[in-house]
Structure 1
């Protein structure tokens, strides 16, 4: 198992980024490595971080303005070679079809519910680590 996993969190709202950090904790599940967070508030910061490499999972806020997480997800799936799996934060359950359109691997609704979020994040980390093994 790798020492730590890097989780990129994209939201223009510092409170959402904090909810994500608190919900995941230091380790979202016992069978995944501890997580480190890389916070981004703008699309250029997300693209630069992904270009630099080392990101294991992306958590994108679908409600971010001016560029929402759903559009960012679709863009990075098209542009980033071996794009990390994406967990999309959506405003309402009815937006799940948009998460599918954006090609996100998972989606949870806002506000972040800690158990649901940690379970979804851990599943994506397991998926990513299995691919890298």
Structure 2
């Protein structure tokens, strides 16, 4: 897969995966359209199933993936591990963990960041800004 190249003024494409529509909504509301004045606007791609996550990530049109580790039947940490193992140029991944003690699972998944449920907008925002600046 070729390296991803993006226009610096184009919106950042954020894939938000959870089988729970409320969780997806909480993530998008917490981040809003512009998370930081120095970063482009965010555009969202809501996904409810793991196969669709894989399809979008394979296409190379995602800049950041936020995956719900508590999603069912396929948890976001397993999806993150699969993506990191299979994609040569995988965009950064943030996983939402069930609790702070699950951080070790996020490390196993090779995700670059983890934020526990319930979603804290400040922690989530700081993690996303850090990933987008990296």
Range of TM-score over shorter length? over 0.9
Please give the TM-score of this superposition, normalised by the length of structure 2: 0.92
More helix per residue: 1
Question: Could you tell me how far 1:31 is from its partner in structure 2?
Answer: 1.4
After the TM superposition, list the runs of 4 or more consecutive aligned residues in structure 1 that deviate by more than 3 angstroms. Answer: none
CA–CA distance in structure 2, aligned partners of residues 94 and 111 of structure 1: 13
**8 Å contact kept, 1:29–1:119:** no
Of 75, 98, 104, the match for 1:97: 104
Please give the TM-score of this superposition, normalised by the length of structure 1: 0.92
Of 38, 42, 60, the match for 2:67: 60
User: Are residues 1:80 and 2:87 paired?
Assistant: yes
Deviates more, 1:16-25 or 1:116-125: 116-125
Of 6, 15, 31, the match for 2:22: 15
CA–CA distance in structure 2, aligned partners of residues 59 and 102 of structure 1: 13
User: Are residues 1:114 and 2:115 paired?
Assistant: no
Question: Could you tell me how far 1:2 is from its partner in structure 2?
Answer: 2.6
CA–CA distance in structure 1, aligned partners of residues 133 and 40 of structure 2: 9
Stretches of structure 2 that go unaligned for 5 or more consecutive residues are: 1-7
CA–CA distance in structure 1, aligned partners of residues 15 and 125 of structure 2: 15
How many pairs does the alignment contain?
127
Question: Could you tell me how far 1:58 is from its partner in structure 2?
Answer: 0.4
CA–CA distance in structure 1, aligned partners of residues 11 and 71 of structure 2: 27
RMSD: 0.8
**8 Å contact kept, 1:10–1:61:** yes
Q: Deviations over 1:82-109 (max 9, x none)?
A: 1010111001010000000100100001
CA–CA distance in structure 2, aligned partners of residues 105 and 58 of structure 1: 10
